[in-house]
Amino acid sequence: MDNAQTIQQAQQGDIAAFNRLVMNYQGLAYNVAFRVMGQPEAAADACQDAFLKAYKSLGQYRGGSFKSWLMRIVTNTCYDQIRYKRRRPADSLEEMTENPGADRIKLTNGAERPEERVMRHELNDILQQAINQLPADQRVVLVLNDVQGFSYQEISEITGQPLGTVKSRLSRARGRLRDFLRQQELLPGQYRLKDEP
Amino acid sequence: MAKNNDHRNKIAQARQLLSPYLDGEVTAAEQQLVEEALTIDPDLQAELESLQTTVDWLHELPAVVPPRPFTLSEADVQPKRSAGSRSWLVPDWLKLWGTAAAGLLCILAVGGVLLLQQMRGGMLSAPAGDVAMLEEAAETQAIEPEMEKVEEMPAEAEPLPQSSPVTGEGQADEVEEEAEESIAAEADRAEAIEIEPEAAVAETEAEATAETSQSDAEAPLAAEEAAEPAPIEKAAPVPERREAEQPEESLNLAQPAEEIPQADDKAGAPVGGTRPESSPPPPPEIESLAAPPAGEAPRLEDDSATPSIEAEEAVVEESREAAAPPTATATVTATATLSPAPTAASTEAVIPTEVPADTGSTRTSTAFIVFLVAGLVLVGVGAGLWLMWRKQSR
């Protein structure tokens, strides 16, 4: 059964068909939400809300890339959650300190040694911290492009921004991330020596 | 120099294009620009490498496993009722009518309070306006005829009525106080007449002289009056003064019969409390109460004067009853009566008493319409809010 037929059935109110779509896209949706939100529980809540909104908004889907349409709902839900948490910073304090979702990160290379695994784990944490300190609009573009591999055009469709805006946001996000990593002395020495007197 | 500037501009432009250059999202011209700048500036090359490293690390970020499936159930897609609130127990029609009723209650409460305030303000402000208008009218119309009369009057003219200086003052409060005082004084005076009529006449004479001396313009006239030998004629201001302080029924009671033709003959117009020709004659019983003419003066000293004095007491009682409520209307009437203006003037003085009343009712009806419109707007706003709330709850 292809995606279009499943979407059509879901639009007619078939929850089972919609749940098949959920199973297809929930990994992608959760990863985007996790990188954008920076916290697993918040990402899970955002994902749940986003799928519920998607089900209720299925009538507004007029064709095109279902993945981009769904990612637009996910990113908008993340924006809403970020704004909500910004108004209530105390709510996310526990999640920030505990970070329980870190154990669920898959190890991509099972052949690496333990010390390399620890170093990668630390690098991932620092990268996530660097992403978290970005503005939300730059964060979304960076995650969609550099983490999830969406093209500029897809990001433009998802965010509803012009292509030039996507390019500039991504450029600024990468520049900030690089500066953050320089401050953490994670970049190779030849890059750091240029700034030193 | 120009070449250096060109290089700087080229490097600055290339720095902005490094990120899309890494992704291959640049045009051919942009790609050429970046590559030329990279050959010129080694720092730009280092920046490109640092960016590439950063992007590589981001690409290597591991995927995360969702903590739970996000599939939906039938319960998830049912319209949610807000947990904790029992608003769903209340039927919709009750919410609608409750909102409307609450809005109407608010309107009625606010409108009622404001209407009451408006009515109170109208009741208080209208007589005040009357008094002011009457004072102005009396002032202007009292001074002119008097001045004309003073000019026209021969030296042996009859004295002007004693109430004119008071009216010229135009002080409503003083008039009111004097009305109360004079009523009490009249009662005492009526008793005193039985015992010592001569003393009462002397007292009245002193009063008249004191009042006359209040106005400088009246001073010569007062002196002439003081020179008059007849005690009854000097006593004439007493009933006149009472007349001035009494309500409408007793307006024409106490004027001496002789003064009316005198005033008409000499001044051509009635002055200060004198009854105009056009006004109806007093009733028989009231005529008997009026001050006696000069020829009948000895009657005061006789025992035969007793019934007349008793009747005068009755009039004093009536005047007390009429003057008892210290309302502004009584004040206005007293002021109008004290005015020495002719009949036309007193008619004009009565007309303004109705004008503020109409203005007050107009204000009230206008306020009512305003409150009605405001109420309708409030109901509309309430209904809109209720609809929004209903839409949100779904």
Structure tokens that stand for B25 in this block: 């999202």
> What pLDDT, on the 0 to 100 scale, is given for residue B120?
75
Residue A65 sits at the chain B interface (C-beta within 8 Å): no
Best of A31, A148, A163 to substitute, by most chain B Cβ atoms within 10 angstroms, is A31
Does B378 reside within a domain? no
Tokens of A7: 């979407």
**Closest approach of chain A CAs to the CA of B51, in angstroms?**
6
> Which residue did the predictor score with more confidence, A77 or B360?
A77
Mutate to test the interface with B, among A22, A141, A150, A178 (most CBs of B within 10 A): A178
Residue A99 is assigned to a structural domain of this protein: no
User: A99 in contact with B at a CB cutoff of 8 Å?
Assistant: no
User: Are A118 and A183 in the same domain?
Assistant: yes
Q: Does A188 touch chain B (CB under 8 A)?
A: yes
- pLDDT digit of tens for each residue in chain B (394 aa)? 677 788 888 899 999 999 999 999 999 999 999 999 999 899 999 999 999 999 999 999 999 999 999 999 888 887 665 544 555 556 666 777 777 778 778 777 877 787 778 777 665 554 444 545 555 555 555 555 555 555 555 444 444 444 444 444 444 455 555 656 666 666 565 555 554 545 444 455 545 454 544 444 444 444 444 444 444 444 444 444 444 444 444 444 444 444 444 444 444 444 444 444 444 444 444 444 444 444 444 444 444 444 455 555 555 555 555 544 444 444 444 444 444 444 444 444 444 444 454 566 677 777 778 777 877 887 888 888 888 787 766 5
Confidence of residue A3 (pLDDT cuts 50, 70, 90): confident
Contacts (Cβ under 8 Å, ≥6 apart) of B279 = B252, B343
Give CA–CA dist A12/A58, Å, rounded.
9
Same domain, A133 and A62: no
Q: Which residues in chain B have their CB less than 8 angstroms from residue A34's CB?
A: 64
Answer yes or no: is B183 within a domain.
Answer: yes
Cβ distance A96 to A39 under 8 Å?
Answer: yes
What pLDDT score does A35 carry? 96
- Which of A91, A122, A151 marks a domain boundary? A91
Strand partners, A105: B64
Residues A12 and A84 in one domain: yes
In a shared domain, residues B129 and B237:
yes
The CATH number assigned to the domain holding A160 equals 1.10.10.10
**A13/A50 same-domain check:** yes
pLDDT of the residue at B97:
76
Residue A135 sits in the same domain as residue A176 = yes
- Per-residue confidence (pLDDT) for residue B44, from 0 to 100: 92
- Residue B65 C-alpha, separation from nearest chain A C-alpha, in angstroms: 6
What ipTM is given for this predicted complex? 0.86
Helix (H) or strand (E) holding B181: helix B172-195
Average pLDDT, chain A: 85
End-to-end CA distance of chain B: 70
What span, in angstroms and rounded, lies between the C-alpha atoms of B197 and B231? 11
Residue at B303 is within a domain: yes
Note whether B37 and B173 are same-domain residues: no
> Do residue A47 and residue A83 come from a single domain?
yes
Q: Dihedrals φ, ψ of A88, to 5°? A: -125, 75
More confident residue, B314 or A68: A68
Look at residue B81 and tell me if it is in a domain.
Answer: no
Q: What are phi and psi for residue B121, nearest 5 degrees?
A: -60, -40
Residue finishing a domain among A61, A91, A121 = A91
pLDDT tens digits for B121-146?
665 554 444 545 555 555 555 555 55
CATH number at A77 reads: 1.10.1740.10
Q: Identify whether A98 is part of a domain.
A: no
Identify whether residues B200 and B330 lie together within a single domain.
yes
Asked whether residue B92 is domain-assigned, the answer is no
Show the domain range for A70.
Answer: 1-91
Which letter does DSSP use for residue B331 in this model? H
B277 and B337 in a common domain: yes
Do A85 and A117 belong together in one domain? no
Residue found under tokens 């119309």: B141
Among A176, A169, A73, CA closest to A132:
A176
Return the closest-CA partner of residue B207 out of B234, B168, B232. Answer: B234
Interface of B with A (CB under 8 A): 16, 18-20, 23, 25, 43, 46, 49-51, 53-55, 57-74, 76-77
The reply to whether A197 falls in a domain is yes
* A55: its two tokens: 């089900």
Q: C-alpha angle with apex B345: B341 to B350, nearest 5 degrees?
A: 120
Say how far apart CA B69 and CA A47 lie, in whole Å. Answer: 10
pLDDT at residue B360 in the model: 61
- Residue A28 is assigned to a structural domain of this protein: yes
Cα B311 from chain centre:
43
Length of chain A: 197
Given an 8 Å threshold on Cβ–Cβ distance, is A147 in contact with B67? Answer: no
> Which run of H or E residues covers position A68?
helix A66-87
pLDDT of residue B337: 41
Q: Report residue A150: phi and psi, to 5°.
A: -70, 145
**How distant, in Å, are the alpha carbons of B94, B124, B233, B362, B392 from that of B367?**
31, 17, 56, 8, 37
Last residue of a domain, one of B14, B34, B57: B57
**Could you say which of A34, A127, A190 has the minimum Cβ distance to residue B64?**
A34
For A194, the closest of B19, B46, B60 (CB atoms) is B46
- Give the span between the Cα atoms of B9 and A194, in whole angstroms: 21
Q: Are A69 and A4 in contact (CB under 8 A)?
A: no
User: Do residue A85 and residue A116 come from a single domain?
Assistant: no
Decide: helix, strand or coil at residue A111. Answer: coil
Domain boundary among A28, A61, A91: A91
Q: Is residue B370 part of a domain?
A: no
A61 touches chain B (CB under 8 A): no
Residue pLDDT, tens place only, B21-52: 999 999 999 999 999 999 989 999 999 999 99
- Given A19, A104, A174, which is nearest B51 (Cβ)? A174
Residue in B43, B59, B66 nearest the CB of A27: B66
Contact B220, B349 (CB under 8 A): no
> What total number of domains does chain A contain?
2
Would residue A183 count as lying in a domain? yes
The more confident residue out of A18 and B350 is A18
**B176, part of any domain:** yes
Comparing C-alpha atoms, which of B264, B210, B261, B251 is closest to residue B234?
B210
**A141 lies in some domain:** yes
Q: Do A52 and B18 touch (CB under 8 A)?
A: no
- Among candidates A22, A124, A181 on the partner chain, residue whose Cβ is nearest the Cβ of B54: A181
In a domain, B386, yes or no: no
The pLDDT score that the predictor gives to residue B188 is: 60
Is A104's CB within 8 Å of B63's CB?
no
Q: Are residues A116 and A156 in the same domain?
A: yes
Residues of chain B contacting residue A19, judged by C-beta atoms under 8 Å apart: 71-72
Alpha-carbon gap, residue A98 to B257, rounded angstroms:
113
- Tell me, yes or no, whether B211 and B337 share the same domain: yes
Q: How far apart are CA A127 and CA A135, in angstroms?
A: 15
Q: How many CB pairs under 8 A join A and B?
A: 117
Whether A53 has its CB under 8 Å from any CB of chain B: the answer is: no
Q: Do B50 and A30 touch (CB under 8 A)?
A: no
Q: What pLDDT does A128 receive?
A: 95
Supply the DSSP string of B282-296, one letter for each residue. PPHHHHHHSPPPGGG
Tokens representing B320 are: 């007390």
Higher pLDDT: B194 or A183? It is A183
* DSSP summary character for residue B230: -
The one-letter amino acid at A14? D
8-state DSSP, A105: B
Instruction: Determine the distance in angstroms separating the CA of A131 from the nearest CA of chain B, rounded to an integer.
Output: 10
Helices A66-87 & A152-159 angle (0-180, nearest 10): 60
Identify the domain containing residue B48 by its residue range. 2-57
Beta bridge mates, B64 = A105
Query: What does the radius of gyration of chain A's CA atoms come to, in whole angstroms?
Result: 19
Domain assignment of residue A105, yes or no: no
Task: Search chain B and give the residue with CA nearest A149.
Answer: B59
Domains: count for chain B: 2
Contacts of B352 (CB under 8 A, 6+ apart): B129, B130, B133, B134, B137
**Residue B63, amino acid:** A
Residues B327 and B208 in one domain: yes
